[in-house]
Chain A
Amino acid sequence: MKRIFWKRWGLPLILVLVFPFTIVLPKLGIINPYVNLVLKYVGINIILTVSLNLVNGYMGEFSVGHAGFMAIGAYTASLLTVWVFPHAAGPFIFPLALLAGGIAAGIAGLGIAFPSFRTRGDYLAIVTLAFGMIVKSVLENLDVVGGPRGFMGMDKLTSLAWVYICVILVIFLARNYVFSNFGRGVVSIREDETASELVSVNSRQVKVLTFVFSAFLAGIAGGLFAHELQFINPRSFTILKSTDMLVMVYLGGIGSLGGSILGATVYTLTLEGLRTVLQQLGISQEWRLVVAPLMLVLLMIFRPRGIMGLREFRFLTPHDERPEALAEHRKQIQATKRAKEVLP
């Protein structure tokens, strides 16, 4: 009995116990502001990577427009906290602003979902590319939100604690989705779309759900990003931002949440670590930009599916889906019902 309790509630308990540290450690200065910043970036990048992995990894489409969703989330959340919500209530209303940013991005996600009914592969990639460019151009030409100069005035609401909460929620929601029949539908579209429709998968529903959900997550990350930098402009959300996400997804591994966590963490920490290393060695910082693509090239040659491609960490797998749970379920069935051997 005790064992079962720990198995089920061990991980949530640890996550809850860690939470106070995310508030206390930065306050007391035990983590210096730089480390704090890097940790927040790691968190935001994990959310972005999970978001993009749903489309590129699980569904097998190729989106290069996720920076657009991120921008919509960032601007929506920022407009709310600066213009609508009272500043005094900032930290408490912040989650609402994030949620609104996510929802706005999710609605934009429909804009990609509908073309995806008819086109796929390279052609859909072009559609997402166009989407990203449209978002950027629209923002550049909207003077109300600062046009190309950008938008500022946000308080620094993105604390380590909020990032921590968001990351855990996002991973929890994404895990539930992936391990449901909808999630299996997503993967079946990647494997063989025609066959999936012919075993009753409503592929349109799956596409709408996945694009909206993925865009929603990118929107949340955008909101966090905006309230960390306290300044956003359309150039923060170009194709380069989308490329960063792509690198993290393929580094960590397609079709894997554990891979998304690893990919975002390894990539962010490597780039930050290089900053110090290069400085020590007296080499120009521009070489940092060489390392990331180089990592990607080597990875594609030696491990094309990324670190965790199509595999999942045990702690991210629901209890009923773990091998021993399935084996037990199977044995029960085999015991109660005699296998009617059709074929020897």
Chain B
Amino acid sequence: MTLLHIEHLTHYFGGLRAVQDFNLDLQPGELVALIGPNGAGKTTVFNLITGVYRPTEGKIIFQDQSLIGRHPYEIISRGIGRTFQSIRLFKELSVLDNVRIAHYTRAGYSPWEAILNLPHFTRQEARVCQEALELLNIFGMADLAETTSKNLPYGQQRRLEIARALATRPVLLLLDEPAAGMNPGEVEQLMETILWIRSEFKLTILLIEHQMRVVMGIAERIKVLDFGQTIAEGTPKEIQNHPRVIEAYLGEEVAA
């Protein structure tokens, strides 16, 4: 069964064609990378999948249901988690609250129960807190639960973003440049993390990344975009030797 099926996805910003005729099929458990030079339309694809933009044309089918015209929160609660290129934590909130917010649709109580502080609310709230702390514990961040998230060091903020995305209980995780701004040591750890969460949480992962070390190291399949068009597709080996990719993007790195 195909988890995510994207067909003829096209999106215009005014007259600018950001994505053109994008097709993608994701099988459960796959780890696919989306690469391409700046402005190639990679993040736009993520925004289209998660409902931030409504595509001009095309189909997005997730678990046999169309996602077109759905609100982002609906799409997220159907099982797609996402992180951001630039860190977008809720800065003034504690680490724990950042993760707890991601339980919004699974909190399991109504506004009445919350406002009147009924026992059902208290129990569910305790459960949410428990789950959030357990998740933080898995990421080795339980000790930081009460820290304001803007005070975390950079690497921890990235890690918290992934934890927060996982708190929405995704089946499919969209990672937007998770290695941005990391030093080589941190990148190494990140690759391990990604592979580890994939098996631990049984995820399918779609990854946007600029660092070739990450892409070539963990992706099973790669799609290359340039100016909104798909210019190549294949295994890391095939992509490395693909003439159009070398021309558009990898050129010197491969030559050297």
A51 within 8 A of B: no
Whether the pair B72, A198 counts as a contact (CB closer than 8 A) is yes
Q: Which residues of B contact A188 (CB under 8 A)?
A: 90, 93, 101
Smallest CB–CB gap between A23 and chain B, Å?
A: 26
Contact for B193 among A209, A310, A326, A342, CB less than 8 A:
A342
B203 within 8 A of A: no
B138 within 8 A of A: yes
Most A-side CB within 10 Å, residue of B102, B128, B146: B102
Q: Which residues of A contact B115 (CB under 8 A)?
A: 173, 176-177, 180, 213
Smallest CB–CB gap between B50 and chain A, Å?
A: 6
Whether the pair A184, B101 counts as a contact (CB closer than 8 A) is yes
A201 within 8 A of B: yes
Whether the pair A310, B92 counts as a contact (CB closer than 8 A) is yes
Category for how many chain B residues contact A: 35 or more
Contacts A199-B167, A339-B137: A181 and B100 contacting too (C-beta < 8 A)?
yes
- Which A residues fall within an 8 A CB radius of B? 172-173, 176-177, 180-185, 187-188, 191-192, 194-204, 209, 213, 310, 320, 323, 326-327, 329-330, 333-334, 337, 339-344
Smallest CB–CB gap between B21 and chain A, Å?
A: 25
The main secondary structure of chain B at its interface with chain A is: helix
- Name the residue on B nearest A195 (C-beta): B88
Contact for A180 among B76, B125, B137, CB less than 8 A:
B125
Sample of 15 more A-B contacts, CB < 8 Å, known A187-B90, A196-B101 = A176-B121, A180-B109, A184-B97, A185-B104, A187-B97, A194-B52, A195-B84, A195-B88, A200-B76, A202-B73, A320-B125, A326-B96, A330-B133, A330-B142, A333-B133
Whether the pair B93, A184 counts as a contact (CB closer than 8 A) is yes
State the CA gap A341–B122 with chains docked (Å): 31
Whether the pair B167, A184 counts as a contact (CB closer than 8 A) is no
Contact for B138 among A185, A195, A204, A342, CB less than 8 A:
A342
- Name the residue on B nearest A341 (C-beta): B140
Contact for B130 among A182, A333, A339, CB less than 8 A:
A333
Q: Mark B136-174, 1 if CB is under 8 A from A, else 0.
A: 011110110110000000000001000011011000000
Smallest CB–CB gap between B160 and chain A, Å?
A: 12
State the CA gap A202–B168 with chains docked (Å): 13
Count A-B pairs with CB separation below 8 Å: 148
Whether the pair B93, A187 counts as a contact (CB closer than 8 A) is yes
Whether the pair A185, B101 counts as a contact (CB closer than 8 A) is yes
State the CA gap A3–B125 with chains docked (Å): 24
Interface residues of B in 222-237 (CB under 8 A from A): none
Q: Which residues of B contact A330 (CB under 8 A)?
A: 133, 137, 142-143, 145
- Name the residue on B nearest A325 (C-beta): B129
Whether the pair A200, B105 counts as a contact (CB closer than 8 A) is yes
Contact for A339 among B92, B96, B129, B140, CB less than 8 A:
B140
Whether the pair B137, A337 counts as a contact (CB closer than 8 A) is yes
Q: Which residues of B contact A180 (CB under 8 A)?
A: 107, 109, 114-115, 121, 125
B255 within 8 A of A: no
Whether the pair B121, A191 counts as a contact (CB closer than 8 A) is no
Closest 3 CB pairs of A and B: A180-B114, A191-B90, A197-B72
Smallest CB–CB gap between B201 and chain A, Å?
A: 12
- Name the residue on B nearest A203 (C-beta): B73
Whether the pair A199, B146 counts as a contact (CB closer than 8 A) is no
Q: Which residues of A contact B102 (CB under 8 A)?
A: 199-200
B12 within 8 A of A: no
Whether the pair B142, A334 counts as a contact (CB closer than 8 A) is yes
Q: Which residues of A contact B73 (CB under 8 A)?
A: 197-198, 200-203
State the CA gap A194–B189 with chains docked (Å): 29
Contacts A176-B115, A180-B114, A333-B137: A199 and B76 contacting too (C-beta < 8 A)?
yes
Contact for B90 among A196, A320, A333, A339, CB less than 8 A:
A196
B192 within 8 A of A: yes
A-B contact pairs, 27 of them (CB 8 A): A176-B116, A176-B121, A180-B109, A183-B114, A184-B100, A184-B101, A187-B97, A191-B92, A192-B88, A195-B89, A196-B101, A197-B71, A197-B72, A198-B50, A199-B102, A199-B104, A200-B73, A200-B77, A202-B71, A320-B125, A329-B130, A330-B133, A333-B142, A342-B138, A342-B140, A343-B159, A343-B189
Whether the pair B52, A198 counts as a contact (CB closer than 8 A) is yes
State the CA gap A209–B115 with chains docked (Å): 11
State the CA gap A182–B117 with chains docked (Å): 13
